[in-house]
């Protein structure tokens, strides 16, 4: 599993829009599986779930992206998982780290800083 956290000042709506516009172009098999949004006063939360097939490792990897905003600050959490191979051992070829890294480049291009 690979986890990264980012912070920026772009609105959550603009952030989600930019992610949805830019991220699928990072790979041919990168696709948005589903999304959900919740608005509570000044706080918003959006969850985007992407999936990609890694040919070299012959596995599918999931990337869950949570965008939250409160008081004008937007945080983005990216969690890559599912890169293991085999039913008994969760041996990973690093696919989930690669997937989160490709997302990291996109989110930093739109003005977010990695904070964890």
CATH code at position 37: 3.30.310
pLDDT in tens, 14-38: 999 999 999 999 888 899 999 999 9
3-state DSSP call for residue 65?
A: strand
Q: What pLDDT does 54 receive?
A: 76
Q: Whole-angstrom Cα distance, residue 49 to residue 20?
A: 11
Full domain range(s) for residue 55: 2-114
Average pLDDT, the chain: 90
- 80-94 average pLDDT score: 67
Strand-pair partners of 43: 40
**The whole model's pTM is what?**
0.89
Domain count for the chain: 1
Length of the chain: 116
- 5-12 average pLDDT score: 97
Residue with tokens 């699928």: 24
Q: Whole-angstrom Cα distance, residue 17 to residue 53?
A: 23
pLDDT band at residue 60 under the 50/70/90 scheme: confident
| φ and ψ at residue 53, rounded to 5 degrees | -95, 125
- Beta-carbon contacts of residue 10 (< 8 Å; ≥ 6 apart): 18, 74, 110, 111, 112
Q: Does 63 have pLDDT greater than 60?
A: yes
3-state DSSP call for residue 93?
A: coil
pLDDT band at residue 102 under the 50/70/90 scheme: very high
Q: Whole-angstrom Cα distance, residue 2 to residue 100?
A: 7
3-state DSSP call for residue 29?
A: coil
């Amino acid at each position: 599993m690979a986890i990264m956290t980012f912070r920026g000042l772009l609105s959550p709506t603009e952030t989600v829009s930019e992610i949805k516009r830019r991220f699928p172009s990072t790979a041919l098999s990168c696709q948005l599986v589903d999304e959900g949004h919740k608005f509570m006063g000044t706080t918003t939360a959006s969850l985007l779930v992407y999936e990609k097939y890694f040919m070299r490792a012959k596995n599918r990897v999931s990337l869950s992206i949570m965008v939250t905003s409160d008081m004008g600050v937007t945080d983005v959490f990216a969690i890559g998982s599912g890169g293991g191979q085999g039913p008994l051992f969760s041996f990973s070829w690093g696919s989930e780290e690669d997937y989160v890294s490709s997302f990291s480049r996109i989110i930093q291009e739109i003005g977010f800083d990695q904070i964890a």
